[in-house]
Chain A
Amino acid sequence: MRFIGTMASMFGLGAVAMPSLVRAGVEAVESGTTGTVADTFLKDAPEFSPEESANIIIRMQRELKQAMRKPIEQRRWVMVIDLRKCTGCGACTISCIAENHLPAGVVYRPVMEEEIGSYPNVSMRSIPRPCMQCETAPCVPVCPVNATWIRKDGIVDMDYDQCIGCRYCMTACPYHARTFDFGYAYTDGTPARQPYEDIPSFEYNKRWSQRRGQSPAGNVRKCHFCVHKLDAGMLPSCVTSCIGYATYFGDASDPDNLVAELISRTNKIRLKEEMGTRPRVYYLI
């Protein structure tokens, strides 16, 4: 029962209470009452017993919390996606949309379907495609106004207020991982805009409106490993929502961490490795 309760609080924290927590954290940072969102929430992040830590999600949560105690330049965030486990259910896509309040036409983590072979010898696999957070990201140097850069922990960051919307970064990304926010709403063409479309998002630890003409509308957008959640000591939404535990996340700089173990295997690949972009997203095949 205790385990179930812990799991419920974990998922509840990620799926329901988190936006309000982050919002409160952002407000605290904006009002100058605290240094960072992480300062506010890391102390509140749950502690787990050794038995509970046997669960993968809980283990990753624990490792994340340990990593957050290190200086940012010593963290090396890595995502590992086990394609053998991915069922292609799209829960990660949807939870990402819900977490980041993505408008119509913007997607951070589509799940591609690949058909292999031909009848009668045919099989299929699903390939989730978040931003690869490349170590040598081709999208970064092309930005004419320095609106995108690589953080010290390796996440490719963005400043929506700086982005002029030229879309050069979109042409430079070999993974089609950047989408443009055209300012569309799900209720376009319906009698009334619904209140949920006006709920702000908290990407990059800032409050963003959802109005056409205001950032992030008119900007390029991309997956950021839920950096606002990370800074609050929580796992990205796609990780906690995966029904098959197919997505792993953590700090690969610690050899004892789960992701460090996983990416040391021989069955790992990275997409378009020949381009030399050195993605931080690995796939297990």
Chain B
Amino acid sequence: MLATASAPRLNRIHDYRISLTIAICALLIGAYGVFKVLVLKEHGALTSYVPWGLWVGAYVFLVWLEVGMIISYFILRRYLGVDGLRLLAPVAMLAAISALLGALFVIAMDLGHPFRFWKAYLQPNFGSLMSWMIWLHTLYLVILIAELFAYFKGRDYVDRWKIYLNFLTYISIPFGILLIAVIGGLFGVVAARPFWNASVLPLMFFIASLVAGVGLLTLLHLLFSPTKGTPMYEETAKHMARIFMGAIIIGVVASLANGLVIAYPNVPAHAEGLKLVLFGPYWWTIWIVHLGLGVVVPLLLLTFFRDKLIAIGIAAAFYLIGFTMVPVNIIIPGLAYPMPTMEGVMEAFSHPKLSFEYTPALMEWLVVIFAVGISLLVFTVGYRFIVEPYLREHH
């Protein structure tokens, strides 16, 4: 454990026993949801007209986080010269690997036949962006694991492993960008869904990913940076706070621009999804959770308390909590209304599964909790037994 009596207050939070306890609790609680999917073959509250919901949203969120974090780390370190993040590299890579594993699990649970997941690898149709997504996701995961391995080896065989590390770092960036673009494209190319098709989703996803990544990186620095207790730690945190604030503003401007492009022509098929987001039954998710807690509160904290580490930490945590609403508010509203000329389809044949109304069921939440438990468990164990001993020994 890195926690020491003299360490700053935030330093104690990453006590691995707390983290491990939370992870195990998440796995135990979520196991019931996984049991319902794998054994009872249930699919929650999804319907034939809203076939993607919370699970796909959780997948997108986790991928945004990890890819965005890796890319923003690369930009901050290599191009903006934030040297205080140097020792955070293994923590960031481990966090990314953990998030990727959780994401892969949750998307496998979303399948009607989860045990046929292998077909996506062995019998892919590369004309489908979903095949690209699955392959890129897995390759990216392998690259990150190799990168982490090369990072640890680098000290012993400096030259050879450093070359490997550099190579892997440089290829991980285009792979990450491609993965995000493919996931954005996966939704954006669906001409049948005007709310998705009207946006430049690959670009939007990339911006969202970077913003979320900066938020997570700020939080990771505050919680896990080996430079804790040094002037560099505080200086880097304040530097990150400024960058984070800029990233939030860029994210808001991009979303606003995208929303206006959809809304301004007032084409009903396009604007309907946006209306659902802003004024539909789940209006509070965007106004209160995302914009209120996730944007306004962090911006206020970063404006008025930018020198206080605890405020920066709370701002990053609130931002990430609020940001969970972004993918679900893109995916679900795009599906939750009938296409033009097909308005009567829901009334044409009645069944609860032939509905445009969708509220995630408890079991869906449980599966997401299980996936988060997987990510947390991998991160906690990896940090405790691999990253932390390494950092203690070398730094």
Instruction: Write the residues of chain A forming the contact surface with B, with a CB cutoff of 8 angstroms.
Output: 93, 104-107, 110-114, 127, 129, 138, 141-146, 162-168, 170-176, 178-184, 212-213, 215, 217-220, 271-272, 275
Contacts and interface: CB of A to CB of B under 8 A. Distances in A.
B119 to A, nearest CB: 5
* Majority SS at the chain A contact face: loop
A212 B345 contact: no
A107 B338 CA distance: 16
Contacts of A138: 190-192
B212 interface: no
Contacts of A168: 128, 130, 186
Interface in B96-134: 110-113, 116-117, 119-120, 123-125, 127-131, 134
Contacts of A184: 353
Contact of A166 (B42, B123, B130): B130
A74 to B, nearest CB: 26
B123 A146 contact: yes
B338 A176 contact: yes
Interface in B293-339: 335, 338-339
B119 A105 contact: no
B348 A178 contact: no
Contact of A107 (B120, B125, B186, B349): B349
B112 A93 contact: no
B191 A174 contact: yes
Interface of B: 40-43, 46-49, 51-52, 110-113, 116-117, 119-120, 123-125, 127-131, 134, 186, 190-193, 335, 338-345, 347-349, 351-354
13 contacts: A112-B348, A127-B344, A141-B128, A142-B190, A163-B112, A164-B112, A164-B120, A167-B52, A172-B192, A175-B342, A181-B112, A217-B112, A218-B112
Contacts of B129: 142
B354 A105 contact: yes
Given A170-B51, A213-B41, A180 B342 contact: no
A167 B349 contact: no
B52 A105 contact: no
A93 B349 contact: yes
B353 A180 contact: yes
Contacts, number: 144
Given A144-B134, A170-B51, A171-B190, A162 B344 contact: no
Nearest to A183: B41
Most buried by A among B49, B112, B191: B112
A180 B129 CA distance: 21
Given A167-B51, A171-B193, A220-B112, A162 B128 contact: no
A212 B42 CA distance: 9
B113 A219 contact: yes
A111 B348 contact: yes
Q: Identify which of A104, A127, A170, A175 gathers the most chain B CB atoms within 10 Å of its CB.
A: A170
A143 B119 CA distance: 12
A90 B217 CA distance: 58
Given A145-B123, A218-B41, A174 B345 contact: no
A261 B3 CA distance: 82
A217 B49 CA distance: 17
B119 A145 contact: yes
B186 to A, nearest CB: 8
A33 to B, nearest CB: 30
